[in-house]
Amino acid sequence: MLPDLILQFLLAGLTTGAVYALIALGFIAIYRASNILNLAQGEFVMLGGLTTVFLMTRCGFGYLPAALTAVAAVTLAGLVVQRAIIHPVRDEPVLIRIMITIGISFFLSGSAGLLFGTNPASLPPFIAAAPVRLPGGIRVDVQSIVILGATLLLLLLLFGFSRLTFMGRAMEAVSTDRYGADITGIPSDFIVLAAFGISAAVGAVAGICITPVFFTQYNAGGILALKGFAAAVIGGWGRYSGAVLGGLLLGVIEAVGIGFMPSGYRDALAFGTLMLILYLRPKGLLGSRALTEARK
């Protein structure tokens, strides 16, 4: 029946949307501390998945050790990128910093192709269980539930971190007025470095979560970054809750759209939605207040 079919598309869209939300959370984590738009965020996602695959298939690691090692390795890569490449140009115009992150994206994807190969890779499911069956013949993969749970958990952790910890509040201060933060004794360079590490770790977790469901390969980061960025903008740029809302909405629109249209329209639907929402609400769905006010 048509309603059951639409519900199946909705559930599939929530899974895809949770992926976009995870990527968007990484974008926001960096932006809230440094006002930097890191277009290499998709490469951190790709590296998380491919590193885990490599450690399991080539090095004999178990699932959990491989995943934890991959997160640590990608976090280290984020720290190196910030300190070696982003930090020296921190006072340059915004456009130059954005172009540098594009260059980092190409460098990381090319390096991943040389190290991990160019073939698509996947991981086994975290939990080897049959899909959950709902009334109407609707099936929900356990891995989809894992992705949605990981998205919610990361949202809560990041929200609590930004509101309840000294470093989280320091990131807000550095983003608002970096020089004022320096005067008050907040180590802005360290705060921005930590933000890149957190963002890389979030990206790695996203990559590990999605690789059992969607194949990944060395050049997957570019489109993932664009979809994650679109999700963050749709929800309300600078807000963790907006990133999740925008990601879920984008995924649902894509899934329902390609359920009734050729799959080639998938990206057109995503970015068409972005343009429509920005036309109707330029600040995004949850962007009713200035970003310098209390962000949720």
Helix ranges restricted to H, the chain: 2-34, 41-57, 63-81, 94-116, 142-164, 166-176, 178-183, 188-210, 221-235, 240-260, 266-280
Question: At CA 83, angle to CA 77 and CA 85, rounded to 5?
Answer: 90
Q: Would you state the pLDDT for residue 71?
A: 95
CA distance 53 to 115: 12
Residue that the structure tokens 């949202």 belong to: 155
**Residues 90, 95, 99, 105: is their CA dihedral positive or negative?**
positive
Q: With bands split at pLDDT 50, 70 and 90, how would you rate the model's confidence at 4?
A: low
**Residues 160-192: tens digit of each pLDDT:** 888 888 888 888 777 777 777 778 888 888 888
Q: Are 154 and 178 in contact (CB under 8 A)?
A: no
Domain boundaries, the chain: 19-221
Position 212 confidence tier, pLDDT thresholds 50, 70, 90:
confident
Phi and psi at residue 132, in whole multiples of 5°?
Answer: -75, 130
Dist CA 113 CA 117 (whole Å): 5
Q: If you average pLDDT over residues 253-268, what whole number do you get?
A: 76
Which one, of 126, 122, 115, lies nearest residue 74 by Cα?
115
Report pTM.
0.85
Tens-digit pLDDT profile for residues 218-245: 988 888 888 899 999 998 888 888 888 9
Helix (H) or strand (E) holding 209: helix 188-210
What percent of the chain lies above the pLDDT cut of 90? 23
- Within 10 Å of residue 254's Cβ, how many Cβ atoms? 25
Residue 283 DSSP one-character state: T
Residue 120 exposed, middle or buried by CB count within 10 Å (0-12, 13-18, 19+): exposed
197 has which bridge partners? none
Residues 6+ apart with CB under 8 A from 70: 47, 48, 49, 51, 52, 55, 204, 207, 208
